[in-house]
Each structure stands twice: as structure tokens, then as C-alpha cells.
Amino acid sequence: MTLVNRVFGITALLNERKKKGLFRECQICARVPGPDGGHGHGSRELRTASGTFLNFASNDYLGLTDHPEILEALREGIAEYGAGTGSSPLVTGLTPAHEELSERLRDITGKEAVLLFSTGFAANQALIKAFMALKAGICLDRLAHASMQDLAFYSRNLFRFRHNDTDHLERHLIAGNSPGIIVTEGVFSMDGDLAPLKRLQELREKFRTPLILDDAHGFGVHGPRGHGTPALVCGSFENTDIYMGTLSKAVGLSGAFIAGEREFLSFMTNTSREYIYSTMAPAFLARGALKSLNIIEGSEGEERRGHLATLIRRFRANMAELLPEYCPESETAIQPVIIGNTENLARVAAELRREGIIAGAIRPPTVPEGTARLRITLTAAHREQDTDFLAEKLSGIVRMIRNKTSANTENTA
């Protein structure tokens, strides 16, 4: 036993997680090439040590991760800028490619300025820290992403309103005295539902409380030209003060950005340690992102979003017939199937793998106790027969496990 293990009892802690069905470990996943070894196959299938699987666990919503035009843009970016930047953006890490991407994102969002980050997690942490430094009251949706929740808990002025409950939020704002912000997601990552943005914007106006939106799962997927959830629900970004989007989901690459007022982002540039002390993401990724945005905003992007919408409707129709009590309302690519018990969830996920399907098995503390779930993500790389196959196999597995559980309960009684 190593010294760290001996001193801190790591083995016992891990064994306890295993008993509760909460143990996590990584698996190595490889892309399965498209027909004739080609690209353009997206994340439809993946290969692990145990076989090849239909992949319903990817956030590559538009299936762009291996688009040939994006891959070519990445190669050109490497030839022009090299493999890495070697420095933070405030030293020598900011390149013309980064500035061109920032300008493009400013045009899309209509905001004065954009900051680029290596990950959405870092971007959200920097956002919350910045407002804590400004002594802002933080009104945070209870189901907002962990990247915001983790830091917000350190605020002395945090209010977590019930999920999408704008009446609960309004009562708090009526009683509030200090300047505050409203923080929510465009598409909630575990439930797939949308924030009530129009109502939140009304509260923003009524109480002069800035609205901060994490649209990691909406940017590129929703709205005209893929411009995100504000464009879908409200027609523009006008009444969303600060907007966070990622380049790692629908865009098919890696990274994130924050768009907002020039003075606020200048404040972040001067104070956000996640920005100041991080090496800038490689410039070739910025080149790839620009190409991806061209696709997303063009006719091909519209076709991919249309195909994805068709798959969502088809899968929901199948599940409404086969397992209606397990599937909460979601019109997005994120389709949760609530199993409840973590042990039963593990069984369902394992049986799905035997059928050649991988889906995200999400357990507490990522989701509340008693709501362990499969997080099904549909992408434009899938085919209609893929979603039909998933619905058929999933419904059969859930019924089988439900029947076994009921039989065991009766025998025990």
C-alpha cells in the first residue's frame, strides 16, 4: 500500500463508492471510420476494448467531429501556426486566428467583446469568480452545471431557485437589497429542457438584474443559423447580458467563449486566473472552429439540424409508446430516461452494452438522489434505424429488470 493510500484511506473510500454504485473509471474509446475508411461519420459509432458500439453518449450534436472540411482547416492551421501557442493570451499566445474567431463570435452574438477559454468548465468558473469579486448576489438555477455550482457555494450571497421556477426567483428578487445576477442554462445538460428565457428576461428588466446564460448545449444546435437558445426563444441575444458557449459540442472541436460587455470582459481579462494563467488553446483549433461555424450557419448546418430534429421526434414518439413513465419532457437532443435506482441503472447500462449500445449512465451526485438516469444524446450522425433500435432494446431491458425487481420484492416479502 502506498503512503498516500495508507495515510488517507483511499482504498476504503473507493470501496464505499463501489458499494453504492457510484464508482467511476475511464474507458479508452476510438472513432470508427465511415464507409471505406472515410470521414464524415461523426460520433455514430465507437470502439472500446470490449467491442464496437452505437454511441448515444456524445455531445457531437451535428456530427461534425470528423467533417473533412474541418479536418483540412485544422491541417492548414497546424502548418501556419504550429501545434501549440506556448503561452497565455496575455503574453504571446493570442494569434490572428484567435482574433478572427473572436470577431466571428462577436458578430453571431451581437456582443461587444469575446474571451476564448480552453474549456467551458474554466469559462464558467471564471465567470462566477468575477461576479463574486464584484460582490454580486448570485441567483442560480438549482440544476445549473457543476462548473457554476461548485464556486457559487463559496459566495456569501447565493440563492438557488427551484429549477425553472421563475415565481420562486421573483419572490427572492422582490426581497433583495444588493446588486445581483440571474444565472441559468439555455439547455439543461441532464434534463434536456429549456430555460424560460422570456420570463427571465422580464425579471431582468423589472429588477435591473443582469442575465447570465450558459448555452453549452444550445449553441450551434438551436435557433436560426444555429445561433443558440436566445435566438430560438427570444429572437436575439439582446437581453442576455453575458453568454457562454462551447466549441466542444455542436461545433465539434474543443474550447469555449464568453461574449458580453467590453468593460466586463476587460475586468475578467485583468482578474480571471483561469484566463491569465492558462496557455492559450492552439491556433489550429480556432481555424477549425471558423470552418465549423461556416458549416453550421450554412445550408449543410440547416440540413443537419433538420435531420436531428426528425430523429428527436421519432425517438420521443417511440418512447411515448414504449416507456412513457420513464421519459420526462424534452424536445432537445438530450433525452433522459429516469431509472431512479443506481443499481438498476447499472444493470440497464450493462444490458445495453451487450446489445451494442453505449449511453451515459448518470448517477448522484451529478443528479439528485433517486433520479439516476440514462442520458441519451442524439446526433445528426445517427440514422432513423439507430433510434428505432435503441428504443426497442431499451424498452425491453427496462421491462425485464422491472419485472425481476418486482419478483424479488415479492419473494422477499
Active-site residues, by number, are: 59, 145, 185, 189, 214, 217, 249
The answer to whether the CB of 125 falls within 8 A of the CB of 150 is yes
Decide: 252 and 292 in contact? Cβ < 8 Å. yes
Single-letter amino acid code for the residue at 370: G
Roughly what angle, to the nearest 10 degrees, separates helices 283-297 and 96-109? 30
Pairwise CA distance, residues 150 & 301, whole Å: 34
Q: Residue 403, SS3?
A: helix
Closest CA to 332 of 350, 314, 354, 309: 309
CA–CA distance from 274 to each of 90, 175, 183, 286 (Å)?
Answer: 12, 34, 19, 19
Q: Is 255 helix (H, G, I), strand (E, B) or coil?
A: coil
CA distances from 196 to 142, 163, 164, 169, 234 (A): 14, 10, 7, 12, 10
Report the SS3 class of residue 52: strand
The arrangement of strands across the sheet holding 51-56 comes to 30-31, 45-48, 51-56, 357-362, 372-377, 334-340
Please state, in angstroms and rounded to a whole number, the distance separating the CA atoms of residues 399 and 370: 18
Strand 334-340 vs strand 372-377: parallel, antiparallel, or unpaired?
A: antiparallel
Exposure pattern of 277-316 as b/e (b: 16+ CB <10 Å)?
A: ebebbbbbbbbbbbbbbebbbeebbeebbebbbebbeebb
Tell me the CA distances in angstroms from 389 to 19, 103, 192, 378, one per residue in order.
32, 43, 21, 13
- Please spell the DSSP secondary structure of 361-402, one letter per residue: EE-TTTS-TT-EEEEEE--TT--HHHHHHHHHHHHHHHHHHH
Cell numbers for 303: 440540413
Site of grid cell 422491472: 402
SS (H, E, C) 259-285: EECHHHHHHHHHHCHHHHCCCCCCHHH
Give CA–CA dist 130/115, Å, rounded: 13
